[in-house]
């Protein structure tokens, strides 16, 4: 049994203070275009053609843990070595806007990440992968393309599909301190909600699973403090 979740500093009351805005529309990034059905078809076929034999697993480390895009029929706590979760993807549409951009979670190289491996039902594989790609890839080229990585579970190793930041992409934001990330996360909001809501949902679900991410724990505290400053009751 996972340990009892600890009380968070960041709460739904903090999230309720932050406005939600209308969709500002697709951002205009250089050398980037909106994904098409043909792009989605090609990417799904790439995943399937490069998949290892046996079951099809994906590695969830952020929003896929608390808001999955696909049907799953098995899950395992998994550890990805050589990678860590990081708020490093610049966002000015979904949970950010041009004046208060957000930072979405991606896997970045270095360290260790504990997350969840989910198995996609074989009978509905393509159907579910098309749901997944439309959730994760709105633009081409993707700033966080999917690739196969090894993870370790209590029953042994798995090869899983994971979304990993491309450090060469213009939307990659690296080198920020936790305080600097919290400064941005506390104010960012878009048409899908706020980054504070994203942080709260992620940390809450990780705690329920018995996964303690030290950096996220510090960030949720810092975000709560900054919201109290920017949007006092």
Domain segments of the chain: what residues? 12-230
Q: Is the pLDDT of residue 88 over 80?
A: yes
pTM: 0.94
Grouping H, G, I as helix, E, B as strand and the rest as coil, residue 157 is: strand
Four-CA torsion 210, 214, 217, 221, nearest 10 degrees:
160
Q: Is the pLDDT of residue 69 over 70?
A: yes
Average pLDDT of the residues in 93-105: 94
Which pLDDT belongs to residue 27? Answer: 86
> Residues 67, 118: contact at Cβ < 8 Å?
no
CA 188 to chain centre: 16
How far apart (Å, rounded) are the C-alpha atoms in residues 190 and 17?
14
- The residue assigned the tokens 């399937």 is 48
Query: CATH topology for 12-230?
Result: Hypothetical upf0131 protein ytfp (3.10.490)
pLDDT, tens digit, 9 for 90 and up, residues 4-52: 778 899 999 999 999 889 988 888 889 999 999 999 999 999 999 999 9
Which pLDDT belongs to residue 28? Answer: 86
Grouping H, G, I as helix, E, B as strand and the rest as coil, residue 162 is: strand
pLDDT, tens digit, 9 for 90 and up, residues 220-232: 999 999 999 988 8
Our answer to whether residue 136 is catalytic in this structure is yes
Which pLDDT belongs to residue 132? Answer: 97
- Which candidate in 136, 154, 197, 225 is catalytic? 136
Average pLDDT of the residues in 92-118: 95
Beta-strand pair 146-153/156-163: antiparallel
For residue 189, give the H/E element and its range.
strand 189-190
Omega before 150 cis (within 30°)?
A: no
């Amino acid at each position: 049994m996972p340990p009892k979740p600890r009380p968070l500093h960041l709460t739904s009351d903090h999230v309720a203070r932050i406005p939600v805005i209308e969709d500002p529309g697709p951002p205009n990034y250089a050398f980037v275009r909106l994904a098409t059905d043909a792009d989605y078809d090609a990417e799904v076929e790439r995943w399937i053609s490069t998949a290892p034999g046996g079951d099809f697993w994906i590695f969830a480390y952020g929003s896929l843990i608390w808001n999955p895009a696909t049907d799953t029929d098995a899950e395992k706590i998994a550890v990805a070595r050589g990678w860590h979760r990081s708020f490093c993807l610049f966002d000015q549409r979904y949970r950010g806007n041009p004046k208060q951009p957000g930072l979405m979670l991606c896997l970045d190289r270095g360290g260790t990440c504990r997350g969840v491996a989910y198995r996609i039902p074989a009978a509905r594989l393509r159907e579910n992968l098309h749901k997944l790609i439309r959730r994760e890839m709105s633009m081409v080229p993707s700033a966080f393309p999917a690739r196969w990585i090894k993870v370790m579970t209590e029953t042994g190793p798995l090869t899983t599909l994971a979304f990993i930041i491309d450090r060469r992409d213009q939307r990659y934001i690296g080198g920020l301190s936790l305080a600097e990330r919290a400064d941005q996360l506390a104010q960012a909001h878009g048409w899908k909600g706020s980054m504070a809501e994203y942080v709260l949902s992620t940390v809450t679900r990780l705690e329920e699973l018995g996964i303690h991410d030290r950096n996220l724990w510090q960030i949720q505290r810092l975000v709560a403090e900054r919201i109290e400053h920017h949007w006092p009751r």
